[in-house]
């Protein structure tokens, strides 16, 4: 019985710590598709992450630059690529760029005390992948993150930075899979 409570508690904790929203898998562009073959990045050893285009809300917070840095850190941590940088350079590389569609810090106190969407934080972005030499589109990922709607401590700590971290880790995992030829 005691182990049953531990398992339920662990499941509940895991559920509560996850933010709402999604980060899609790597979707190949029409020009990158070859039948039903997954997008493969096996031929690439370098990744260049450009600063994301800010929307009006994220511009004053330098959200595009911050998100790019988090992607660089997460992709480098996978050790799937020999070089991950924000500096433009010549040669064969995957270029990651994109645009922030929604960036709302919300209000941590309202998220914690009231919940039910009050003070919610949001982070949405379009992430694009292209070949550095040709500029040809390779694929895209859609980020759509928001704080947990029910409130409490869990929702209170889910801010834009935590959404960026979660999205950057998902992007890094998708790139690693595609590097190994397993992205769908």
* CA-closest candidate to residue 178, choices 41, 20, 7, 68: 41
pLDDT given at position 14: 47
Closest of 112, 134, 105 to residue 31, by C-alpha? 134
Domains of the chain: 2-179 (3.40.50)
Give 104-164 as a DSSP string: E---HHHHHHT-TTTT--EEEEEEEEEETTT--EEEEEEEEEE--TT-HHHHHT--HHHHH
CA end-to-end distance (rounded Å), the chain: 41
User: Would you write out the chain's pLDDT as a tens digit for each of its 184 residues?
Assistant: 577 666 665 545 444 444 466 566 677 776 544 444 447 899 999 999 999 998 887 787 788 999 999 999 999 999 999 999 999 999 999 999 999 998 877 766 666 666 666 667 778 899 999 999 999 999 999 997 666 655 665 555 667 687 889 999 999 999 999 999 754 4
In 53-93, beta strands by DSSP E: 83-85
> Could you give the CA distance from residue 154 to residue 35 in angstroms, rounded to a whole number?
43
- Nearest-CA neighbor of 167 among 35, 67, 78? 67
Beta carbons within 8 Å of 179's beta carbon, 6+ residues apart: 40, 41, 42, 44, 80, 81
């Amino acid at each position: 019985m005691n182990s049953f409570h531990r398992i339920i508690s662990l499941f509940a904790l895991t559920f509560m710590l996850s933010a709402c929203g999604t980060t899609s898998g790597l979707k190949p562009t029409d020009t990158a598709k070859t039948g039903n073959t997954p997008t493969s990045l096996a031929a690439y050893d370098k990744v260049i992450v450009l600063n994301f285009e800010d929307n009006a809300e994220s511009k004053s917070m330098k959200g595009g630059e911050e998100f790019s840095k988090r992607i660089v850190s997460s992709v480098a941590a996978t050790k799937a690529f020999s070089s991950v940088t924000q500096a433009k350079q010549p040669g064969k590389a995957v270029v990651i760029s994109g645009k922030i569609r929604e960036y709302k810090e919300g209000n941590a106190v309202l998220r914690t005390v009231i919940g039910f969407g009050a003070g919610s934080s949001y982070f949405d972005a379009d992430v694009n992948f292209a070949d550095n030499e040709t500029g040809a589109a390779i694929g895209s990922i859609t980020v759509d993150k928001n704080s947990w709607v029910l409130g409490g401590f869990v929702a209170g700590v889910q801010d834009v930075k935590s959404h960026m971290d979660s999205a950057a880790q998902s992007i890094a995992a998708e790139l690693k899979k595609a590097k190994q030829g397993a992205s769908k």
